[in-house]
Structure 1
Amino acid sequence: MMPCSRVETSLAGDAPWLFLSPHLDDAVLSCGALMEAQAKDREIIVATLFTEALPAPHTRAARSFMRQCTVPDALGLFEARQSEDKAVLEDMGVQSIHLGHVDALFRRRKPLKPGSSAWDRLLPELSHSYPTYRFDIALGRISRADRGLIHQLRSDIAELMALTRAELLFCPVGVGKHVDHLITRKAGEAHPENLVMYSDFPYNLSAGPDERHLSELGFVPWTWESGLEAKTCRIRQYDSQAEALFPTGEIPLQPETYYVPAGPSRKP
């Protein structure tokens, strides 16, 4: 008989689970079916890490994102996204926590002060940690300026683990190499005894995980297939994001993939 995975072992009980979501939709996009099924019998908490923007001036990449969302004001957009996320998770019976860190599109290496140079305002890319999306955010190279942020996130998550008494901690595996997803993974990996990683949807429609990293960890796939139809309805509740993510209007029914330690898992 095959040994139970870490998730299957926990499924037999009712201990709380904590999900780390890089952005204000990622947990539902990647784990919504499992979360909603389990919220009937256990406490499910989603902690979203990057829930804020900063005022203009914005990079070209940030302005492009706002155009996709059809909202010209970044602060207003993120207020709407926070409300949207809380409403969706509440409907699912899931608790939500917003940690208040700044999204990579808007993150600066240092605060922009009134006396900042004209170049900082005319070419905001100079002061941002990730000047472009394609060549910075999406390449998976975490800025040196984010070292302190990673340290803070590990502290935040350690406090949440103690507060929630979560048996399992779910974090993204980093399909797509978005730096915020990789930073979230780094923060989650500080809790190896509780760790489960999830495949990042919809990035996983066109890319795969870092197999070498999974092999080094000794993690193997585990799949959840129930409730996918209901999950698509939850995704559509993210009005500010659904159209940009799925411009054809079709949301694929993709089984949720998780990565767990191979062989018997110890209880956290």
Structure 2
Amino acid sequence: MSRHPVRSLSRRLPKALAPSDRPTRLPHVEFDASAVRFLGDAVDPDVFPVSAAELWHTCDGSRPLDSWEPADRERIARWHAAGLVVAVPAPRTAPVRALTFLSPHPDDAQLALGSTVFRFGGRVVDVFSDETWTRRPYYRERPALASRMLIEEERVSCRVLGAGLTLLGHLDGESRPAWRDGFLLGAESTVDVRRAEPELFERVVLDLARELADPSLVLVPLAVGGHVDHVVTREAVCELVVRGAVAPERIVFYEDMPYSLFGDPQADADRLAAVLSGRPSGPWGGCALTPVLVPGSALSTEAKREALWPYRLQVMEPITNRIVRYGRGLGADGPAAGTNATAGGFAERVWAPAESVAAVRELAACAT
């Protein structure tokens, strides 16, 4: 077995494990008779000897770091620095606010709003949670394993952020016949999703009607980038508002990540506002969507980075770093741009119709 650490064991800027943190193992570790593997590659036995397997399995998020003996704490801290475990804070007794985060896939809500999820709690609802896409050859050759890992990554991330999780289990667009020629839609063709897959669209609408039966504020993807699953999720919620099943004052749109790093959220917000106000008998007024910054703190920014680390199959660390820099840019530029001030030099931006501006500004004020 190679004694060289794999690429994944070079995590940069790791959060230091606090005594009260609850180390939680990542799901990508596999054991055989003589080796420990992470993401399919052999792990340096100096970092993770086979003899430490029993200790590894105790890192299930149920106990704080200071409950282990000193030698075991030292090994767990090394695993954390290497990126084999993540730090989960003590669980909150209840969500701070009633929030529902609609995530087209596992990772979307956390990429866009991880700081907000951490600060307020609530529930993440994954719509297209049946997926197998990955950049890693080891998992591309094992689609059933990849599918299971993507869900397990999501579970770990939600533990870090203290959020509940619901999986709706719809098949992602990359695997559906309607989008075999490409699932990233142009900005002007997003209305086609209803006609392309009418039965699927109606199933998603009905599923979300059930999930949104409570009075919580609902954070919905703006669909920056035009990914078909993001568009379907957004349009299904808009359909529920038109049908009167969900009140418009509950709906807030968020900037999809990493698409907003390369796209134009303002242009997408303007297009969506025009569509919403132009629909016959629509419940929304004609005002543009209003950008609102939800402030982060040093703690919530650190938690967001920690919560993104489990997504080893799809999210590369450079993207995580760019997303964090983007949030810091919003936090630094917010007051100059005429939006609300932020605390901690970090923010996540949402876009509110006129009906929900007051509610989301109240949310942002609570985060300050």
Which of these residues, 257, 264, 273, is aligned with residue 208 of structure 1? 264
Aligned CA distance change for structure 1 residues 157 and 238 (closer, same or farther; 3 Å): same
Which of these residues, 4, 23, 28, is aligned with residue 105 of structure 2? 23
Aligned CA distance change for structure 1 residues 153 and 92 (closer, same or farther; 3 Å): same
Tell me the equivalent position of 2:228: 179
Note if 1:262 corresponds to 2:354.
yes
Residue 14 of structure 1: how far off its partner (Å): 5.1
Residue 251 of structure 1: how far off its partner (Å): 4.6
User: What's the TM-score, normalizing by structure 1?
Assistant: 0.72
* CA RMSD of superposed structures (Å): 2.6
Residue 153 of structure 1: how far off its partner (Å): 1.2
Are the counterparts in 1 of residues 258 and 319 from structure 2 also a CA contact under 8 Å?
Answer: no
SS at match of 1:229: helix
Q: Specify the code of the residue in structure 1 equivalent to 2:255.
A: S
Aligned CA distance change for structure 1 residues 130 and 223 (closer, same or farther; 3 Å): same
Q: Specify the code of the residue in structure 1 equivalent to 2:258.
A: P
Deviates more, 1:247-256 or 1:177-186: 247-256
Deviates more, 1:255-264 or 1:15-24: 255-264
Unmatched runs of 5 consecutive residues or more in structure 1 = 1-12, 55-64, 108-127
SS at match of 1:102: coil
Tell me the equivalent position of 2:251: 195
Tell me the equivalent position of 1:224: 294
| CA deviation string 1:196-249 (max 9, x = no partner) | 110101111111232122253532111123123331221122121222x73696
Note if 1:246 corresponds to 2:318.
yes
Residue 15 of structure 1: how far off its partner (Å): 4.8
Name the CA distance, whole Å, in 1 between partners of 2:356 and 2:249.
12
| CA deviation string 1:18-73 (max 9, x = no partner) | 1110011000000110111012xxxx01110001148xxxxxxxxxx444464122
Tell me the equivalent position of 1:60: none
Identity across aligned pairs (percent)?
Answer: 27
Tell me the equivalent position of 1:110: none
Deviates more, 1:82-91 or 1:18-27: 82-91
Q: Specify the code of the residue in structure 1 equivalent to 2:109.
A: A
Q: Specify the code of the residue in structure 2 equivalent to 1:212.
A: R
5 Å matches for 1:1-268? Answer: 15-39=97-121, 44-53=122-131, 65-68=133-136, 70-71=138-139, 72-107=141-176, 128-133=177-182, 136-139=183-186, 140=190, 141-142=192-193, 144-162=195-213, 165-189=214-238, 190=240, 191=246, 192-209=248-265, 210=268, 211-215=270-274, 216=277, 218=287, 219-226=289-296, 227-243=300-316, 246=318, 251-253=323-325, 254=327, 255-262=347-354
Are the counterparts in 2 of residues 45 and 96 from structure 1 also a CA contact under 8 Å?
Answer: yes
Name the CA distance, whole Å, in 2 between partners of 1:15 and 1:25.
21
| CA deviation string 1:88-123 (max 9, x = no partner) | 10222100000010000111xxxxxxxxxxxxxxxx
Residue 262 of structure 1: how far off its partner (Å): 3.0
Name the CA distance, whole Å, in 2 between partners of 1:180 and 1:261.
22
Aligned CA distance change for structure 1 residues 177 and 154 (closer, same or farther; 3 Å): same
Name the CA distance, whole Å, in 2 between partners of 1:173 and 1:257.
11
Name the CA distance, whole Å, in 2 between partners of 1:167 and 1:155.
17
Unmatched runs of 5 consecutive residues or more in structure 2 = 1-94, 241-245, 278-283, 328-346, 360-368
Name the CA distance, whole Å, in 2 between partners of 1:262 and 1:248.
32
Are the counterparts in 1 of residues 251 and 356 from structure 2 also a CA contact under 8 Å?
Answer: no
SS at match of 2:314: helix
Q: Specify the code of the residue in structure 1 equivalent to 2:143.
A: A
SS at match of 2:313: helix
SS at match of 1:196: strand
Name the CA distance, whole Å, in 2 between partners of 1:33 and 1:69.
31
Structure with larger Rg: 2
SS at match of 1:256: strand
Aligned CA distance change for structure 1 residues 36 and 247 (closer, same or farther; 3 Å): closer
Higher relative contact order (CA 8 A, sep 6+): 1
Q: Specify the code of the residue in structure 2 equivalent to 1:213.
A: L
- Paired residues in the alignment total 216
